[in-house]
Structure 1
Amino acid sequence: MEKKSYTFEEIKQKLVNYCVYQDRCHSEIEQKMRDFLLIPEAKDEIFLYLIKENYLNEERFTRSYIRGKFYIKHWGRTKIKMNLKQKGIIEKLISKCMDEIDADDYEKTVNKIYQDYFSKQKGLKEYQRKSKAIKHLMSKGFEYDVILDVINNE
């Protein structure tokens, strides 16, 4: 099946809609542009338009990504940071936007995930349950020192 060809304006509108539906980062827009066989000049023009009209805003994307991954998916900072880097977001911007996560909420989340996971471990010794719960939290991207602080202060 051959690809339907679109006019420049149609492609531009499709990319606007793509940004309006959900905050996007530059690499997602580039990926989407690959679907349309655009010449570099056309790509640049669309990029500039999306930025100028504030459809594409890397800081806004980063902030909403951090909020979503923490408050909805319950990911830790490490996993969030790693995934943002894969999307081409620079370290400086990631660090600047990490204030989207409230420190108390972070601690409470670590504690809750720990308690929930720990209580589900049956038929194991205490230290084994603890170690499994720590591994689980680390796999969700929480920092080892933060995990230890939380469980040592319970």
Structure 2
Amino acid sequence: MSSSDILKLRHYCAYQERCHMEVREKCRELKLYGEEAEEAIAHLVTEGFLNEERYAKAFAGGKFRMQQWGRKKIRQALKQKQISDYCIRKGLAEIDPAAYEQALLSLAERKYQSLRGEQYLKRQYKTLQYLLQKGFEQELVREAIEQIAKKED
């Protein structure tokens, strides 16, 4: 493992938060395999360039704020990146419950309004499907839709 490889990996991690899986992929691109790659990752962790808890917090906060993903979708995406359950919990804890509820209501209302021409049940069903696909919990989605449907009456 050359110092230029470590330098490239440092830059890669400094540019934005990365998870171990992404860094392993980058190591493969740099032709670092097995023991060399693990050594490089350990080096980056020691130096503070790589921290999965920090990554999970940044990922969860970003996906929620920018793309308005729900907790379930964020959890699934982090699991696909092989993030530990502990780090996933820490990441999801970054999401403010009041902001989460507000985002859910806002998305629900916008979707429900966009379906004005549809029948009542179809409108509710399509709104429900949209919010579940965004990763929001079924119970919270049902409550939000009921709340919006009551306003319409």
Scaled by the length of structure 1, what TM-score is found? 0.90
Q: Which amino acid aligns with 2:68?
A: H
Give structure 2 stretches of 5+ with no counterpart: 149-153
Match of residue 103 from structure 1 = 97
Q: Are 1:22 and 2:20 matched, yes or no?
A: no
**RMSD across aligned positions (CA):** 1.4
Structure richer in helix, relative to its length: 2
Task: Give CA-to-partner distance per residue, 1:88-139, whole Å, 9 cap, x none.
Answer: 0122321233111011111111100011011111421112111101100000
State how many pairs are aligned: 148
| Candidates 139, 142, 146, aligned match of 1:145 | 139
Give structure 1 stretches of 5+ with no counterpart: 1-6
Q: Are 1:10 and 2:8 matched, yes or no?
A: no
Task: State the 1:39 CA deviation.
Answer: 4.4
Match of residue 151 from structure 2 = none
Matching of residues 84-95 of structure 1 within 5 Å: 84-95=78-89
After the TM superposition, which segments of 4 or more aligned residues of structure 1 sit over 6 Å from their partners?
A: none
Whole-angstrom distance in 1 between the partners of 2:143 and 2:33: 53
Scaled by the length of structure 2, what TM-score is found? 0.91
Whole-angstrom distance in 2 between the partners of 1:35 and 1:24: 15
